[in-house]
Structure 1
Amino acid sequence: MKDKAKQKESGRRLFLATAGAALCLARPARANDKLDAGGLTFLDFATPDNGASFARADATIAGGPNPVSSKILSIENAKGYARIGFEQSRITMAIPLGWQATEDWERGIGYSSDKRYRLIVWRVDFEFEGVKDAEHYASSKGGAIQSRRPKVKAQARKLGDGSYLVVFENVPKGQGDAEPRVVFDLVMAQPGNPKLGVLVTLGVPASDAGRGIKLLALLKENMKVDW
């Protein structure tokens, strides 16, 4: 996955050129409105290799300027994941065994061995992005991408913990993909500072959308942000 393709999939700054576009949030959040792994665990997404995959370099992953392998904090074989520290963004995540992870100066990147599942985590300065907060960011980004790519369907909703989920369907397949994509954006604001936040983007094949959102639930549940 080339650097340009990763930026295209995350689309983080895409809506700046069309800031007037916005989505209406699907409905008010309820306390029990949350992402649910549906009984799946990291073992359902892992290749048991004792963390060996994270030591391998992949020349096809550009990773932006000066990419480096991310720090392995622990290997949890029995649970099917490695705990990875993205030091530049100060985010710790559990990532399935058999994946790889790298980072550059502004984002952490994870991807499955076949690159069908691709993960990006960013720090977001909402004011710099031209929006006032996480809600405005989620609705504006979804609306802008939909206005520029009418075949892409976007829906944003607020979760019970105050974060926002945006789902993009009918995303065109990229180089090396066998089918169109579904991309999930999870937007979280920094507690006590609504002007800053974190964006988690997970792209999966359209046929794996149901499994993909369950993986997103696992990623969110096992994610720690050093605010």
Structure 2
Amino acid sequence: MAIPQVTREVKQKESGRRAILAAGFALWAGPAHAQSGLDAGGLTFRDFAIADRGASFNRTDSMLPDSPGPARARVLEIDNAKGLARLHFDTVKIDLAVPLGWQAIEDQERGVAYNADKSYRLIVWRLDFTFEGVNDAEQYATTKVGTIEARRPPTKAQARRLGDGSYLVIYENVPPSRGDTEPRTVFDLVTVNPSNPKGGALMTLGVPASQGRRGLNLLALLNQNIHYSW
């Protein structure tokens, strides 16, 4: 059974589009942002969290089927002071911190996390560029931009290489999925395996379009707190 709503993010208002794209692609201009090109803008996980001491990660989601099917991600740590939970997604061999109050699951292909109302939706995947039919991370990012714009009008997207060699793609005006109340802004962060340029990982974060700037800040926090077992 497919993970509800969240799986559709991968298929990813004109004034808002320019503002978000300008903010996103200006982030690495200063030397302080040279390493990754992403900046949390002074926000922390506590700005996105619900202070429930990690209770949400033990909560049953009525949208999940009985086994077989998606399973809960393993919780490694609850840090109440920082407003985050550290999780392990065994399927993709990734450790990741997300805000308290979220839930997290995984299936045979990806790890998924989402906030209480599912308006913020995160997916982490592994990438094999040869399998995807491209030569490298750059071609993957640029090809996906063209594909999504063609398949999901009126979506508009841009891709840029960041200072650490990863690629950021911003998709604006993504049509809403079932249950969404407005268009979406979706961020892809493509990270290259340092020991194998033919492989990598993809982190996709989708948020309501009106919260695009906050979504970009959260992407920076997620990227600062992710660990890949290559």
- TM-score (ref. length: structure 2): 0.87
Structure 1 partner of 2:6: 6
Structure 1 partner of 2:204: 201
Identity %: 56
Instruction: Identify if the C-alpha distance between structure 1 residues 62 and 208 changes in structure 2 by more than 3 Å, giving closer, same or farther.
Output: farther
Residue 81 of structure 2 aligns to a residue in which SS?
helix
Structure 1 partner of 2:98: 95
Deviations 1:46-80 (Å, cap 9, x if unpaired)? 00011000001212256996211010000000000
Of 182, 186, 189, the match for 2:189: 186
How far the C-alpha of 1:9 sits from its partner, in A, is: 1.0
Q: Distance in 1 between matches of 2:65 and 2:152?
A: 26
1:118 aligns with 2:121: yes
1:138 aligns with 2:141: yes
Q: Is the 8 A contact 1:46 1:80 kept in 2?
A: yes
Q: Is the 8 A contact 2:3 2:70 kept in 1?
A: no
How far the C-alpha of 1:129 sits from its partner, in A, is: 0.7
Structure 2 partner of 1:213: 216
Q: Distance in 2 between matches of 1:183 and 1:51?
A: 26
Residue 224 of structure 1 aligns to a residue in which SS?
strand
How far the C-alpha of 1:10 sits from its partner, in A, is: 1.4
Q: Distance in 2 between matches of 1:108 and 1:87?
A: 8
Deviations 1:129-153 (Å, cap 9, x if unpaired)? 1111111100000111112233110
The one-letter code sitting in structure 1 at the alignment partner of 2:6 is K
Residue 102 of structure 1 aligns to a residue in which SS?
strand
Deviations 1:152-207 (Å, cap 9, x if unpaired)? 10000000000000000010111111100000000011002111100000000000
Q: Distance in 1 between matches of 2:66 and 2:217?
A: 25
Structure 1 partner of 2:71: 68
The one-letter code sitting in structure 2 at the alignment partner of 1:122 is W
Q: Distance in 2 between matches of 1:121 and 1:170?
A: 22
Deviations 1:199-222 (Å, cap 9, x if unpaired)? 000000000000000000000000
Q: Distance in 1 between matches of 2:62 and 2:127?
A: 28
Count of residues in Structure 1 that have an aligned counterpart in Structure 2: 212
Q: Is the 8 A contact 1:3 1:62 kept in 2?
A: no
The one-letter code sitting in structure 1 at the alignment partner of 2:8 is K
Unaligned runs of 5+ in 2: 13-24
How far the C-alpha of 1:102 sits from its partner, in A, is: 0.3
Q: Is the 8 A contact 2:46 2:82 kept in 1?
A: yes
Residue 58 of structure 1 aligns to a residue in which SS?
coil
Instruction: Identify if the C-alpha distance between structure 1 residues 186 and 62 changes in structure 2 by more than 3 Å, giving closer, same or farther.
Output: farther
Q: Distance in 1 between matches of 2:66 and 2:133?
A: 25
Q: Is the 8 A contact 2:74 2:89 kept in 1?
A: yes
Q: Distance in 1 between matches of 2:67 and 2:108?
A: 8
Q: Is the 8 A contact 1:171 1:183 kept in 2?
A: yes
How far the C-alpha of 1:3 sits from its partner, in A, is: 3.1
- TM-score (ref. length: structure 1): 0.88
Unaligned runs of 5+ in 1: 13-25
